[in-house]
Amino acid sequence: MRSDQRRRLGVLLSLAALWGAGCKKEQPQASMPVDAGAVAVAVVDAGPVAKVVKPLRLSDVSLQRQEDRLAVKYTLTNPGTAQARGPACLMLIDEGNRAIDVLRMGGITVKGGSEDTFEDQLTVADLQWKQARAVLLFTVAYDKYCSDTQLQPTSETLRLLPTGAPAPAGLPMPVPAEEATAADLVVSDVRVRRSKTPAGASVTFTVKNVSDHRASGSACLRAYVREGLFALEENDVGEFDLAPGASATVTGTGTFGDASHWDEVTVLRLFTHTYGCAEVAGPENPGVLIHKPVDAENAAGGEEAQHDAE
């Protein structure tokens, strides 16, 4: 064979070898171990990972009260993977394990697997604070209220003494507060006195809770030209918050919008209700009738007059 033919044959054989190698099926690579610290890439998409919701944990709580302000500092830990948010709540509890009041401390947001510390300032009146024997801290869902009767906490509840020290464990959830009605309250010993200001008046009365639950609200003094007419003046004149069977003597003040109305008024009525003067008078809440005495008509008079109640 001539040399040029041998060269052409060699080129053809080389090309055939290369073509055959290029068409050879690639062998699968051996699987590599997954590093525990790395994220493995799945061949098939498994979809989003479900978020795990777990109750929040409360810890490191401190309570500091100054005058009518209560400073609350607390830490929330989220052991789940879902973000938690909603109101944080504080319940005042009396000696009978009954809820006195439930207050909203503030809004919280805690990412899954993290913790955060919050500080809130609340207004708590002496009337409620002095009756509190414990406080209960908890959180609720974003679309719920702290004052909901059927509580569904999204956190573990934490019961403390008003000092911030741990309270006895194992107690049941407190009995929720109920709205007081006129039938729950008995009013007696109503006394009205004109103040030194021409339009002012002082009212003292005793109120007793005759129900089996707590009763709170305020008293409303309404003044009438005569029976059967709408009130010419009305004033909220004192608050109360009573355990079952308890009573209190309350003193409050009110001011007429027009001092000359004292000359027109002949009848006074004292009403007690959860919402005070916001509650409309009616057959179910007729109030305590007080005939305006002569000595109360003199703005300069300082003597306290006691009146019979019907």
Please tell me the predicted confidence (pLDDT) of residue 64: 97
| pLDDT, mean over the chain | 83
Alpha helix stretches (DSSP H) within 71-149 = 126-129
Which strands, in side-by-side order, build the sheet including 185-194?
A: 247-255, 200-209, 185-194, 305-306
Asked whether residue 6 carries a pLDDT value surpassing 70, the answer given is no
Report the pLDDT value the prediction gives residue 44, as an integer from 0 to 100: 52
Going from the N-terminus, what domains does the chain have, and what CATH number goes with each?
57-160 (2.60.40.10), 182-306 (2.60.40.10)
pLDDT digits 0-9 by tens, 135-157: 999 999 999 999 888 889 999 99
Range from 5-19, 166-180, 238-252 carrying the lowest mean pLDDT: 5-19
> Nearest 5 degrees, angle CA 105-CA 110-CA 115?
100
pLDDT digits (tens, 9 = 90+) for 83-109: 999 999 999 999 999 999 999 999 999
Please give the Cα distance from 251 to 201 (Å, whole number).
Answer: 11
- The Cβ of residue 180 has, within 10 Å, a number of other Cβ atoms equal to 22
Q: Is the pLDDT of residue 283 over 70?
A: yes
Range with lowest mean pLDDT among 5-19, 94-108, 161-175, 200-214: 5-19
Compute the distance between CA of residue 153 and CA of residue 58 in angstroms, rounded to an integer: 12
Q: Nearest-5° angle of CA 151, CA 130, CA 61?
A: 55
Phi, psi dihedral angles at 83 (to 5 degrees): -70, 140
Rounded CA-CA distance 45/77 in Å is 32
pLDDT of residue 14: 54
183 phi/psi in degrees, rounded to 5: -70, -20
CA distance 262 to 1: 142
Report the largest interatomic distance among the alpha carbons of the chain, rounded to a whole angstrom: 150
Q: pLDDT higher for 240 or 297?
A: 240
- Pure H helices in the chain: 3-22, 126-129, 261-264
pLDDT value of position 10: 53
pLDDT of residue 8: 53
> Is pLDDT above 90 for 16?
no
Tell me the residue length of the chain: 310
Measured at the CA of 178, the angle between CA 175 and CA 184, to 5 degrees, comes to 120
pLDDT by residue (tens digit) across 178-195? 888 889 999 999 999 888
Segment 20-73, tens digit of pLDDT: 544 444 444 444 444 333 344 444 555 566 889 999 999 999 999 999 999 999
Q: Are 157 and 138 contacting, i.e. CB atoms less than 8 angstroms apart?
A: yes
Of residues 287 and 118, the one with the higher pLDDT is: 118
